[in-house]
């Protein structure tokens, strides 16, 4: 099968087409003929040599796919050859074929193309797990999510609004601000023109937000803490400005804050399967009703994965970047 390999750690051009044998299906897995795959920030970090695949996972990048099941492993029930599915995978997405554990496989939503379906798993699994399971975001609460025009940000805005929360987000230009407002954000702050801490306090009448979903790290951590209300929850899922931070813990104590975070890729299939079940129950009806949807910025043929990575690193995109494989 044709694959896109990381030939050596480095820039986008280290992504090169290669040939490998079709992966063997293990018990509890399906083999998917991949039609489309998503491009995500962890793919970029892996390409740079800073995020190796978990033990036993493919070293081929790609954490989400959609396509058609062509083979069933032993013990697979409830799925059939020919089913159109999307899946969260620990690696191997930039390829013509990819295996997926059945716990992480979901049906392609009604009316969705493979490219649309492949844009769902990584961001929706991540946002659901961190916003609703870990942070316990509730109806009537207020969320601050940074990078509202990203794949994660655009998903968080839509899901938070769908479940009755208010949303504050940060962006770097007017075009991205308009994009986030159209998704339903209640307040959009251009961080290049305005201090988001001041904006949050003005918007909430000094109370602060209940949840922060942070992908930035660095000096944003202390600012996020300043934005949080009493009993607020701060969830870290990435560190674009680095994980090493120094901040004053006194507000954490005085406001009884919870600082937490998570990664998804290395978690076991049972954990991911629980998220998949919740998505199928609570989110798939919203997707099929047109109330939430992945927003796709750009689609590249898989042979141009290097261009897709360059776009990801430019941070000029709004929504998901996708690869067409099949």
CATH number at residue 247: 3.40.50.720
The answer to whether residues 6 and 304 touch, using CB atoms and an 8 Å cutoff, is no
CATH number for 35: 3.90.180.10
pLDDT in tens, 285-313: 999 999 999 999 999 999 999 999 999 99
Domain total in the chain: 2
pLDDT in tens, 226-251: 999 999 999 999 988 888 889 899 99
227 with 309, same domain?
no
- How many Cα atoms are found within 13 Å in the side-chain-facing hemisphere of 227? 28
93 with 115, same domain?
yes
* Domain assignment of residue 154, given as a range: 124-261
Of 261, 289, 307, the domain-final residue: 261
pTM for this structure?
Answer: 0.95
Residue 41: both structure tokens together: 């920030």
137 with 115, same domain?
no
Of 220, 241, 261, the domain-final residue: 261
102 with 203, same domain?
no
pLDDT in tens, 5-51: 999 999 999 999 999 999 999 999 999 999 999 999 999 999 999 99
The answer to whether residues 323 and 308 touch, using CB atoms and an 8 Å cutoff, is yes
Of 221, 241, 261, the domain-final residue: 261
Note the pLDDT of residue 9. Answer: 98
For residue 310, the surrounding DSSP H or E stretch is helix 305-314
27 with 139, same domain?
no
206 with 285, same domain?
no
129 with 244, same domain?
yes
Alpha-carbon distance values, 322 to 25, 155, 195, 247, 315 (Å): 25, 15, 33, 37, 15
């Amino acid at each position: 099968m044709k694959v896109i390999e990381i030939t050596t750690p480095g820039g986008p051009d280290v992504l090169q087409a290669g040939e490998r044998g079709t992966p063997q299906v293990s018990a509890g897995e399906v083999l998917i003929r991949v039609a489309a795959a998503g491009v995500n920030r962890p793919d970029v970090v892996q390409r740079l040599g800073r995020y190796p695949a978990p033990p036993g996972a493919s070293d081929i990048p790609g954490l989400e796919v959609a396509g058609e099941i062509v083979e069933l492993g032993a013990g697979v029930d409830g799925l059939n050859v020919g089913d159109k599915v999307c899946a969260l995978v620990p690696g191997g997405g930039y390829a013509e074929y990819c295996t997926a554990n059945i716990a992480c496989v979901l049906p392609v939503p009604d009316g969705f193309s493979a490219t649309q379906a492949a844009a769902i798993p990584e961001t929706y699994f991540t946002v659901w797990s961190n916003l609703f399971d870990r942070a316990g975001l509730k109806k009537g609460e207020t969320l601050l999510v940074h990078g509202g025009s990203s794949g994660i940000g655009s998903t968080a805005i839509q899901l938070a609004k769908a479940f009755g929360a208010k949303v504050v987000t940060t962006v770097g230009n007017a075009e991205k601000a308009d994009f986030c407002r159209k998704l339903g954000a209640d307040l959009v702050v251009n961080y290049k023109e305005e201090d988001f801490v001041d904006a949050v306090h003005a918007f909430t009448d000094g109370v602060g937000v209940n949840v922060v979903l942070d992908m930035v790290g660095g000096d944003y951590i202390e600012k996020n803490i300043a934005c949080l209300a009493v009993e607020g929850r701060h969830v870290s899922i990435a560190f674009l400005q680095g994980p090493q931070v120094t901040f004053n813990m006194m507000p954490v104590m005085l406001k009884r804050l919870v600082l937490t975070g998570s990664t998804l890729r290395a978690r076991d299939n049972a954990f991911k399967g629980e998220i998949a079940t919740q998505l199928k129950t609570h989110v798939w009806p919203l997707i099929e009703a047109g109330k939430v949807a992945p927003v796709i910025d750009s689609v590249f043929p898989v042979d141009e994965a290097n261009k897709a990575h360059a776009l990801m690193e430019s941070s000029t995109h709004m929504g998901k970047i996708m690869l067409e494989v099949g």
